[in-house]
């Protein structure tokens, strides 16, 4: 995860700029769309590893940023980070979680991806007018370990009348009740993040 110093409550002093879930991933923005960084901006690279072996391992990561001139013509982009923490899956049982929220008028989304842990079997993102109404599926993933970043060219556009519905499914094969949490081994998550413009800040919704 690449993040920059900010005042975002949910992520301490840092707000994500880019989160990769595969060994190689990139975000190519359209012409004159960019991520705004202040002069002398502090940027942090954070990596998460799970060593399943009995021997030490060494993790590495590299980040490449391509700059564009600040000539007053560029539009700032940002990230949406939405999801559900209402996850309770009984032992040896299936389960699911959902969330819905309207998207601000004027927002254009360039890419979407989801995030689950090892009990995740499916995650979908749909565009709809309400949580229960008809929906148009935009994204589907059944590989929790390396969910793809789906890019949209042209971008998805919103006029304020519709939102995004996230749906997650699970199969709890363990002998314990699984709840929301940070542990990739014992907890689950149901999130998506999207890269959008024009920026109204790091958009967090749980």
Q: Return per-residue pLDDT of the chain as tens, 206 residues.
A: 777 765 444 455 678 899 988 777 888 899 899 998 888 888 888 888 778 789 998 888 888 888 888 787 899 999 999 999 999 999 999 999 999 999 999 999 999 999 999 999 999 999 999 999 999 999 999 999 999 999 999 999 999 999 999 999 999 999 999 999 999 889 999 999 999 999 999 999 99
Residue whose pair of structure tokens reads 């991806």 in the numeric block: 113
Residue 11 confidence (pLDDT): 53
- 153: tokens are 């060219």
Residue at token pair 């060494």: 58
10 Å CB burial of residue 165 (0-12, 13-18, 19+) is buried
Closest CA relative to residue 62, chosen from 17, 111, 26: 26
Residue 110 sits at the vertex; the CA angle it makes with 206 and 1, to the nearest 5 degrees, is 60
Residue reference for tokens 């949490």: 181
Round to whole Å and give the CA distance between 102 and 5. Answer: 27
- How do residues 168-200 score in pLDDT, each as one tens digit? 999 999 999 999 999 988 999 999 999 999 999
What pLDDT sits at residue 186?
95
Q: What is the pLDDT of residues 28-48, one digit of tens each?
A: 899 899 998 888 888 888 888
pLDDT score of 62: 84
Cα–Cα distance measured from residue 193 to residue 84, given in angstroms and rounded to the nearest whole number: 12
User: Residue 2: what pLDDT?
Assistant: 75
Residue 28 CA, distance from chain mean position:
16
- pLDDT at residue 84, rounded to an integer: 98
Calculate the dihedral angle through the C-alpha atoms of 34, 37, 39, 43, rounding to the nearest 10 degrees. Answer: -130
**Mean pLDDT over all residues of the chain?**
91
Rg value, the chain, Cα: 18
DSSP assignments along 99-156, one per residue: EEEEPPTT-EEEEEEEE--TTEEEEEEEEESSSSS-EEEEEEE--SSS---EEEEEEE
For residue 170, the model assigns a pLDDT of 98
Q: Give the pLDDT of residue 9.
A: 47
């Amino acid at each position: 995860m690449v993040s920059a110093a900010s005042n975002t409550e949910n992520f301490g002093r840092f707000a994500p700029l880019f989160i990769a879930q595969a060994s190689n991933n990139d975000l190519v923005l359209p012409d004159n769309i960019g991520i705004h960084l202040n002069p002398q901006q502090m940027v942090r690279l954070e990596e998460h590893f799970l060593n399943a072996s009995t021997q030490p391992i060494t993790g590495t990561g590299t980040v490449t940023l391509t700059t564009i001139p600040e000539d007053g013509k560029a539009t700032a982009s940002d990230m949406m980070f939405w999801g559900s923490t209402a996850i309770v899956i009984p032992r040896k049982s299936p389960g699911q979680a959902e969330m819905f929220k309207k998207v601000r008028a004027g927002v254009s989304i360039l890419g979407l991806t989801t995030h689950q842990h090892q009990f995740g079997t499916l995650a979908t993102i749909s565009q709809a007018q309400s949580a229960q109404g008809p929906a148009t599926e935009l994204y589907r993933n059944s590989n929790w370990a390396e969910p793809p970043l789906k890019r949209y060219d042209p971008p998805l556009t919103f006029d304020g009348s519709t939102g995004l519905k996230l749906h997650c499914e699970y199969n709890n094969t363990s002998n314990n009740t699984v709840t929301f949490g940070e542990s990739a081994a014992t907890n689950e998550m149901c999130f998506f993040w999207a890269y959008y413009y024009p920026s109204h800040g790091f958009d967090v919704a749980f």
